[in-house]
Amino acid sequence: VANFKDDGYYLRKFSIGEHSATHMNAPNSFHADGVGIDHYRPEDLIREAVVIDVKDKAAADPDYAFSLDDLKAWEKEHGEVPADSVVLLNTGWTKYWRNPQKFFGLDGKGGLHFPGFDGDTTKYLLNQRDIAGVGIDTHGVDPGQDTAYRTNTQVLSQPRIVLENLTNLDSMPATGASIVIAPLKLKDGSGSPATVTGLIP
């Protein structure tokens, strides 16, 4: 936009989609009457986090969906998912970030294949564990073949948290950590690129 030689100062511009890179979804991305990303308060965006490692299952099946049985097995080892926490699914998909074909699981027929949350498990987490939201290291919290977007739709029926394209989840413990989420305050934004910082005790 400007440079020192011609303008006496240096300035650039950039353009990016609201759902690019690590980002947070807003309710109005799936509900016509939902609020935008600018309606979240700072205090809404500091949350306890649990991290559930499903890398082995995701590696064996790119269409893997986190099931209620998987949740129960995790809770047997780590205890119940705390209320008001954000459940982060570590699928290991970060390693494919620089390979779009693999990251999206493109099958040449318009289909997408990457892991996510099963909609019934999400319903259970919302109704029985009263979670604040979900997050994942893939393109979306819904598995690639879930074109009904059941997890996004359920979680964002209220101004809850949906985080996608997370990274470095291997550095987070299963329990005991918190996350600080910093999206851009875009007016009526359907989402925003976000910095998500893990605080580990």
pLDDT tens across 158-193, in order?
999 999 999 999 999 999 999 999 999 999 999 999
109 DSSP 8-state letter: S
What is the percent of the chain with per-residue pLDDT over 70, rounded to a whole number? 100
98 CB neighbour count, 10 Å cutoff: 8
The domains located in the chain, with CATH, are 18-199 (3.50.30.50)
- Helix (H) or strand (E) holding 127, with range, is helix 119-128
| Mean pLDDT, range 113-130, rounded to an integer | 99
Mean pLDDT across the chain:
98
Encoding tokens for residue 10?
């240096």
pLDDT computed for residue 30 by the predictor = 98
pLDDT computed for residue 29 by the predictor = 98
Confidence of residue 10 (pLDDT cuts 50, 70, 90): very high
Buried b (16+ CB within 10 A) or exposed e, 144-165: bebeebbbbbbbbeebbbbbbb
Q: What torsion, rounded to 10 degrees, do the Cα atoms 39, 128, 175, 160 define? A: -10
pLDDT tens across 32-66, in order?
999 999 999 999 999 999 999 999 999 999 999 99
* SS3 state at 100: helix
Encoding tokens for residue 178?
């918190």
First-to-last C-alpha distance (Å) of the chain: 44
